Amino acid sequence: MACLTQCRILSHSLASSRGSTVPSYSYRPSAGRCNAVPRSEAIFLLHRDRRQWHGRRRLITRSTEDLAALTALARSEALERERALLADMPIDDLRARLIKHGFSESSLPASREPLLEQLAETNLKARAQVVSYPLRKTPRSPRAAKSFLVAPIDVEDVGFVNFLLDSGSSGALITGEMRERLGLSPSDGQVVKGVDSGGLTLRQRVRLPPLRLGPRLLDLREAYVTQLKSEHDVEVGGVLGLSFLRQYEVEISPQLQRLAFHPPGHIDKGLLDVRGMTCLRCEVLKGGLLGVPVSLNGSPRFPAILDLGANFSILNWQAAELAGVRREGSGSSSAGAGGGGKGGGAAAGAAEVGGGLTGFKQTAM
């Protein structure tokens, strides 16, 4: 057991399914096994053995030869799937895809089979850069006005922390509890003035340690400290907004229950299938939020905030009046498109749309 005391075992799968909870592990060493196999030549696999360990997790080891054989088999199967996806693609499309991957046209083979093989290999290598997790949302209640996507972020010197993903937020936010876990105090950083629907606000801005999604270091250096509602059914360290989302092409698949983060360019290279999706031409609204022009009942177009966390669409009364909708008691019947409204500091003719989205990509505007 002593040979494992300095090992830190982290699993993105476990972090995704269990949040920031630190799982406990058990280990039953074979006779001489721990001393015979160096750590650099062994892989530790987690599995359940309910009969012997009553559902607890234990650690087993495999040799590098076993690992190499399993890796080769998995790669062969993945490569065969890539070939199947490309089987019906015309030769000109195969060539065009490879050029988008950075190959020069003069370096490409002339016949179809070598082109298909080269593109299958290239696609497989590119897919290794995709980071995917089981799709999680909080709160889970269908009555909630908002339900945020959740992603586990590796925070240096802290570990995996659940962050909410919110396209209705422009930057990054952390909670007061997360600030304490980072070793910061209320007096650290800077005090920044702002204005919201309640008037003048003061917020603390702090420096962030390195954050990673999978192996990739995120380009996020600061966050504002805020208080989040306690309705979430997982422990949350903060919110990541558009400054995070624009670093990826995000695939949200309710059918597969998967949330995948693709490097920029995967859509253009055909690695992320967007057939059947509607392309929304967005514009940057005041405050850095994404807006889309919408209309209701043939009304003039007005800006709407694109919010991945909204479970239904919301209109404020200024936007509703543009569509010919009146408040009850004003002489005509009302027809809500989500009810309520943002009210407050929302601009005239503003709305919020969300729900039902299966993909996200911010393009140049």
* pLDDT 10s digits, 112-144: 999 999 999 999 999 999 999 999 999 877 777
Candidates 246, 167, 169, 212; CA nearest to 15 is: 212
What pLDDT score was predicted for residue 364? 34
User: Considering the chain, what percentage of its residues have pLDDT values greater than 90?
Assistant: 44
Instruction: Output 239 or 340, whichever has higher pLDDT.
Output: 239
The mean pLDDT of 25-40, rounded to a whole number, is: 40
**Cβ proximity of 313 and 355 under 8 Å:** yes
Q: What is the pLDDT of residue 105?
A: 95
User: Is 50 exceeded by the pLDDT of residue 359?
Assistant: no
Residue 94 pLDDT level (bands cut at 50, 70, 90): very high
In the chain, which residue ranges form alpha helices assigned H by DSSP? 12-18, 33-36, 50-53, 64-86, 91-100, 112-127, 176-181, 242-245, 317-322
Q: Count CB-CB contacts under 10 A for residue 33.
A: 13
Helix axes 91-100, 112-127, angle to 10 degrees: 40
The predicted structure's pLDDT at residue 361: 44
Give me the mean pLDDT over the 304-323 stretch. Answer: 85
Look at residue 12 in the predicted model and tell me its pLDDT: 43
User: Per-residue confidence at 353, pLDDT binned at 50, 70, 90?
Assistant: low
Q: Are 14 and 134 in contact (CB under 8 A)?
A: no
pLDDT at 168: 83
Predicted confidence at residue 356, as pLDDT, reads: 36
Element holding 150 (H helix, E strand):
strand 148-155
Predicted TM-score (pTM) of this structure: 0.71
Q: How confident is the model at residue 145 (pLDDT cuts 50, 70, 90)?
A: confident
Highest mean pLDDT among 151-155, 197-201, 289-293: 151-155
Q: What angle do CA 214, 216, 217 make, to 5 degrees?
A: 120
